[in-house]
Amino acid sequence: MADEEIIGILRQCEVFASLALEDLTDVAAVCRNVRRAQRESLFREGDPPDSLYVIADGRIKILKHSSNGKELIVGFFGKGEMVGEVAAFEDRPYPASAEVVGEAHLLRIERADFVALVSRRPAIALRVMTVLNDRLRVAHDRLRDSTTERATQRIARLLLMLSRRIGPVLPFSREELGQMTGLTTETVIRELGVFASAGVVRSGRRKLVVVDPQGLVDLSETDIFPLSPPADLSS
Amino acid sequence: MADEEIIGILRQCEVFASLALEDLTDVAAVCRNVRRAQRESLFREGDPPDSLYVIADGRIKILKHSSNGKELIVGFFGKGEMVGEVAAFEDRPYPASAEVVGEAHLLRIERADFVALVSRRPAIALRVMTVLNDRLRVAHDRLRDSTTERATQRIARLLLMLSRRIGPVLPFSREELGQMTGLTTETVIRELGVFASAGVVRSGRRKLVVVDPQGLVDLSETDIFPLSPPADLSS
DNA sequence: CGCCTATTTGAAAACCGTCAAAGTATGTGG
DNA sequence: CCACATACTTTGACGGTTTTCAAATAGGCG
C-alpha cells in the first residue's frame, strides 16, 4: 500500500513526526508523491500559493530575486523538512522560489487540504508554529550578520551554522555560498583562501570541509583592531 | 472590573481580536497589566524566556546587538501587536531585546500560561501562525534588500514600508533609520538630503514626512545602468 | 541661557564589487 | 583513452560606495 510509504516519510518530518498513527493517516490521505529532476522548480516567487511540500529525499533551495538580477538564497532544506508553508496560511503569492538541487522526492499537499488539516488537528499547528519560529530566528540572525558584520565574519558564521546543521562537509559551490551571504563569488573565494591557509577549512569543487570549527568561531568573533596587532595576553 | 479593560485591549490585538468572548475571558485570566517608562526594556537578548506582551498603548522596538557594538532594529511594534512570542514556544533565550520607545502600557502573559492557553484554544495557534508568517516574510524581504540593494534603494524601501504601515509621518531619528537599514547615520542623512531636494520627503527632528510616495517607489526601483540611459521602449 | 541630544558637513580610506582573463575539475563523445 | 566542451574556481587590477573619524551646527528642555 502506497500510504504506508507515505506514512514512513511523514514520520521523518519535523512537523508530523510526533503525531499519532490516526493523525498520520489523516495527513497521508492528502499527500501526493512527486519526483522532480535537477534544477526543476517547485514554485516561483510571485506565483499564487498552490501547495506545500515535505521533502522525502533530496535537497531544495529557496531563493529570492532582486531588482538588479541577483539572487539571494534564503534557505537550503533537506529530508524531513517542509517548504512552501509560508504561503499556506494566507492567500498571498509565494515570497520566494523553490528549486531542486540534485534530484528530489517530495510529498505535495494542496493548500486547501493543509488548511483544513491544521484546523482539524491542532497538534500540527503547534509544530508548524515551532518551525516558523526557528526560521524567524535564523532569518533575524542572518539579517543582523549581513547588516553589521564584515565579509570574514559573515562567511565564518555561515559556515559555522551550516556545519552545525549538516556536518563538516558542506556541499555548496562558491557561488551558492555567495548567494547565501550576499557577497560575490570572488569575495567568498578570497576569504576562503585565507581560511584555508589558516588550516580552518579544506576546499574542493562544489564542496568545503570544516576542519577546525573553533577556528571559525574565532574568525567570526574577530573584531578588527585597525592599527594594533592582537593584544599580547601573556604579559 | 479590571478584566473588562483587559478584554477591551485584547479585542484590539491581532492575535486575539477574532476570538469569542468566552475565549477572551480565558485569555484575560492570565494577563497582567504592566506599565513601563521611556527606554526601559521588557527583556534582553539572551535572557531566558519569561513572558510575552501585548501592547495596549505605546511603541516597542526590538533590537539585536552585534559583535562590534552596533545595533540592528529588527522591528517596531505598536498598539495591538505582540512582542516576545518568538521565545514563547521553546525554552530558548530571547533572540533580541525589547525596549520601550515613549511610554508603554502592556499586557504581560507568562510563558507557561501562554503555552497552556494555545494548547487549550487552537484558534489562537492559527492566529499566531499567521503573525509569525508575516514576520518571516518581512524578515526575508529585508534580508534580500540589505544584501542586494544599494543605500538609496534600501532607504526608499524602508520608508515605503513604514509609511504604508503607520502613515506618512514617521517618528524616527536618523540613527534609528540607520539601525533599521544597517546603514550609518551619516549615510542615511546624505541620502535623505537627496530625497528632500527631490521633494519626496520633508525632514524634521526625530521625524520624517513622506510627501510623495510614488517618488519613493521610483527611487526604490531605480536600477543603475552604468553607461547607458534607460532603454528606449518606443522603437 | 546652558546642556544634552540630534543633525549636518567634509575629507580620507577601507572594503568589497566589478570586470577581465586564466586555470582546473568533470563529463561527454568520438 | 584522448580531445573537447562546460562549468567551477582562482587571480589581478581598478573603482565606487559606504564607512570612519572629526568637528561644527541646530533644536529642545530644564
pLDDT at B223: 59
pLDDT at A230: 41
Q: How many helices (H) and strands (E) does chain B have?
A: 8, 11
Q: Is B217 within 8 Å of B200 (Cβ atoms)? A: no
b/e sequence B119-141, b meaning 16+ C-beta within 10 Å:
eebbbbbbbbbebbbebbbbbbe
3-class DSSP state for residue B125?
helix
Predicted confidence band at B26 (pLDDT cuts at 50, 70, 90)? Answer: very high
Distance from C-alpha of B81 to C-alpha of A12, rounded to nearest angstrom = 35
Predicted confidence band at A47 (pLDDT cuts at 50, 70, 90)? Answer: very high
Kindly report whether the global pTM for this prediction surpasses the value 0.85: yes
Res A134 pLDDT > 90: yes
3-class DSSP state for residue B48?
coil
> In this complex, do B67 and A221 lie within 8 Å of one another by their Cβ atoms?
yes
Predicted confidence band at B211 (pLDDT cuts at 50, 70, 90)? Answer: very high
Q: Which one of A229-233, B18-22, B29-33, B217-221 scores highest in mean pLDDT?
A: B29-33
Res B72 pLDDT > 80: yes
pLDDT at B175: 97
Diameter of chain A measured on Cα atoms: 72
Q: Nearest CA to CA, how far is A121 from chain B (Å)?
A: 9
Interface contacts (A, B; CB < 8 Å) = 127
Cell numbers linked to B217: 517607489
Q: What is the mean pLDDT of residues A77-97?
A: 92
Res A228 pLDDT > 70: no
Residue B105's CB: how many other CB atoms inside 10 A?
A: 15
3-class DSSP state for residue A202?
strand
Res A232 pLDDT > 60: no
pLDDT at A231: 41
Distance from C-alpha of A204 to C-alpha of A104, rounded to nearest angstrom = 24
Res B166 pLDDT > 50: yes
Average predicted confidence (pLDDT) for chain A: 91
Predicted confidence band at A1 (pLDDT cuts at 50, 70, 90)? Answer: low
Q: What is the mean pLDDT of residues B12-33?
A: 94
DSSP letter, residue B89: S
Distance from C-alpha of B32 to C-alpha of A185, rounded to nearest angstrom = 52
**B207 Cβ contacts chain D strand, under 7 Å:** no
Average predicted confidence (pLDDT) for chain B: 91
Question: Which residue from B92, B95, B90, B120 is spatially nearest to A14, judged by alpha carbons?
Answer: B90
Q: What is the mean pLDDT of residues B93-121?
A: 93
> In this complex, do B96 and A140 lie within 8 Å of one another by their Cβ atoms?
yes
Q: Which residues contact B167 (CB under 8 A, 6 or more apart)?
A: none
Cell numbers linked to B49: 524566556
Predicted confidence band at A229 (pLDDT cuts at 50, 70, 90)? Answer: very low
Predicted confidence band at B230 (pLDDT cuts at 50, 70, 90)? Answer: very low
Q: Which residues of A touch B (CB under 8 A)?
A: 64, 66-68, 70, 72, 74, 86, 89-90, 95-96, 118-119, 122, 125-126, 128-130, 132-137, 139-149, 153, 181-182, 220-221, 223
